[in-house]
Structure 1
């Protein structure tokens, strides 16, 4: 006889409550069971002590006899320190394709470049803060002088065309 440690549902509609039971693997989910070894109330908070109540000694006994826990019960047993749960694996899932690997590498490179740029910006800010005030004032004056020169330069052909077009569209002001 194959024995399993599994959940048996109770409770009302949309208010689940489970018993952790030892049952014959061939019996129905909510049917006949051999022994009740705990309860599980998924509606309680995850850190609540009453969410999972498990009789550890009986669980050890049934595991020693050869009972196989379901995935969910195996989680509870692992959390209680009674049985280590093997990592779940899906045999239908294969390795990612070439494009997925390339995209992941590109994302990693972009993240690394962004982190480097942020580090350089912080270093530049730190250097600017450490520089004497005279240097920053001289830089500010140079920027202002460049803006003044740009404003006083002769207008380009495009700027003249835009100015002519706006002059034609606006009617003369009446006094």
Structure 2
């Protein structure tokens, strides 16, 4: 059976609360699970001790059994020191969109034109002073 360590959402509308659970991958997100490993309350401050609570021994047991970990839970386990930190790469995230690139190109063109226009009268004045 393929198992996964993931978050199961609870709590009321606009007030999320998650259980960290081990479940069969075929079960729904909030459905039947095998074992509850901890809780995650995103409404608490990031430095709060009660924001993420896990039974790390059971997590290690399930990882040894071959359970896969979702991305969000893997970040929590990396912070707890159970998993080694993965390198993530999203190179397209930093690239601005087409309209923003067009605006930047227009702005750069105007700036170079203004710099050339400002430099041209200064050069003419320097040539006239040298000729006299």
TM-score class normalised by the smaller sequence = 0.5 to 0.7
Per-residue Cα deviation, 1:101-139 (whole angstroms, up to 9, x for no partner): xx9xxxxxxxxxxxxxxxxxxxxxxxxxxxxxxxxxxxx
Normalised by the length of structure 1, the TM-score is 0.51
- TM superposition outliers: structure 1 runs of 4+ over 3 Å: none
Equivalences, count: 97
Q: CA deviation at 1:89?
A: 3.5
2:47 matches 1:47: yes
- Equivalent residue of 1:15, what SS? coil
Following superposition, the deviation at residue 2 of structure 1 comes to: 1.0
Greater relative contact order (Cα < 8 A, sep 6+): 2
Aligned-partner SS, 1:20: strand
Aligned to 1:82: 82
Cα distance in 2 for partners of 1:32, 1:89 equals: 33
Please, what TM-score do these two structures have when normalized by structure 2?
0.67
Structure 1 unaligned residues grouped into runs of 5+: 104-175
2:21 alignment partner, SS class: strand
- 1:84 deviates by 1.3
